[in-house]
Amino acid sequence: MKQEGARFGKVAVLMGGWSPEREVSLMSGAGVLRALRSRGIDAHPFDPAERPMDDLRREGFARCFIALHGCPGEDGTVQGALELLGIAYTGAGVMTSSIAIDKAMTKRVWLAEGLPAPRHVLLQRGEYDAARARAVASELGLPLIVKPVRGGSSLGVTKVTGLAGMQPAIEEAFRLDEGVLCEQFIDGDEVTVLALGSGDGVRALPVIRILAPEGNYDYQNKYFNDRTVYQVPCGLPESEQAALQELAVRASRALGCRGWGRIDLMIERASRTPWLLEINTAPGMTAHSLAPMAAQAAGMSYEDLCVHLLAHATLDDPQPRPAWRPA
C-alpha cells in the first residue's frame, strides 16, 4: 500500500476556497483525502482561502487533487497558479476551465460544434430592466430557467413559471454572479454522464437518471436530503443510453476536457431529443455526488476513482520550471 502511494509524492487536496460552494467543497475534499490516505498516499488538506498558493511549492507538494468548486477553483484561476508553480493537478487545464465554468460560453462552443443546447439569453448586471425581463420571457417562453452564468451546485437556480417571478429570479441569480443566464425550459428526463479521460481516450460511464422531488434538483435536494432518487442503471432504452454517452464524449472533447468532466443533459419528453445543459470540470465528491456513483456503476470504487484521477494529474505545459525561490 505504501509503495503505491510513494509514486505520487506529497499530495495536496485543494478544498474549501471562498466561493459560495465552499461547504460542498469541504465535504468533497474530506472524502478525497480519506480515500487517498486509505491507499497509502501522503495526502494533506490545503485550503487556498486560508493559505497562500506558493506554500504548495515551499512545502514540497508534487501533485494537487482539485476538490474546489465554483470560482476560483473551477474557473482556471487556481489552475493558472499551479501552472506557474509547476505542480501537476487533476482535471481540466486553464483555458478549458475558464470556458466550461461559463455556461453561456460553453453553449457557444457546443453550438459551433453542431451539438444541441437549449435556446438562451445572457443578461449582464446593469444592462436589463423590467421591460427586458418581459422580452426575454416572451422570446424563450414560459416556464424558463434562470441561473448564474458561472458556478454550480444549483445555487441561484430558479424555474420561472410566470412573469411575476422573472425579476426576483434574476435578482437572486445576480446576487451570486455578474452574469445571468435565462434558458429555455426542457420538459423531460434529467440525466448526467461522467466522462473519463482526455482527447481520443475519453470514455463515458453509465448514464444516471435523476428523479428529484417535484422535479426540483436544487441545492438542498442535491446535498442535504435523501428524497432525490438516482437511477443507475437508468432504465432508458439501450439505444438512448448509447446516444447520450456519445453526446457526452463529443461535448467533453469539444471543450478540450482532461481527466474527467460531468455532463448534465435533459431529454425532451415528447421528441426524446437530448439537450446539453452544462459541464462540471471538478465534479463533487460528496456522499450524494454523482461522479463516484457513476464510477461505482462502472465497477470503480470511490478510492479507485480518486487514485485514477491523481495518476493522470498533469499540466498544460509540462516543461521543467526554473528553481523556485521564496520571496
Q: Which residues are catalytic?
A: 21, 153, 223, 262, 264, 278, 280, 284
Our measurement of the distance from residue 176's CA atom to the centroid of its chain's CA atoms, rounded to an integer in Å, reads 17
Across the beta sheet with 179-184, what order do the strands follow? 120-124, 179-184, 144-148, 158-160
Residue 130: how many other CB atoms lie within 10 Å: 11
3-class SS string, 51-63 = CCCCHHHHCCCCE
What count of other Cβ atoms lies within 10 Å of the Cβ of residue 291? 25
Chain centroid offset of residue 243 CA: 21
Query: 48 and 69 in contact (C-beta within 8 Å)?
Result: no
CB-count exposure of residue 80 (10 Å: 0-12, 13-18, 19+)? middle
- Residue 261: phi and psi, rounded to 5, are -170, 140
Element (H, E) at 209: strand 208-211
> Residue 326: exposed, middle, or buried by beta-carbon count in 10 A (0-12, 13-18, 19+)?
exposed
Q: Which residues contact 7 (CB under 8 A, 6 or more apart)?
A: none
Please tell me the distance from the alpha carbon of residue 265 to that of residue 4, in angstroms, as a whole number: 37
Residues belonging to the chain: 327
Which is it for the CA torsion 172, 178, 182, 187, positive or negative? negative
All three cell numbers of 294: 457513476
Q: Which residue has the cell 423590467?
A: 130
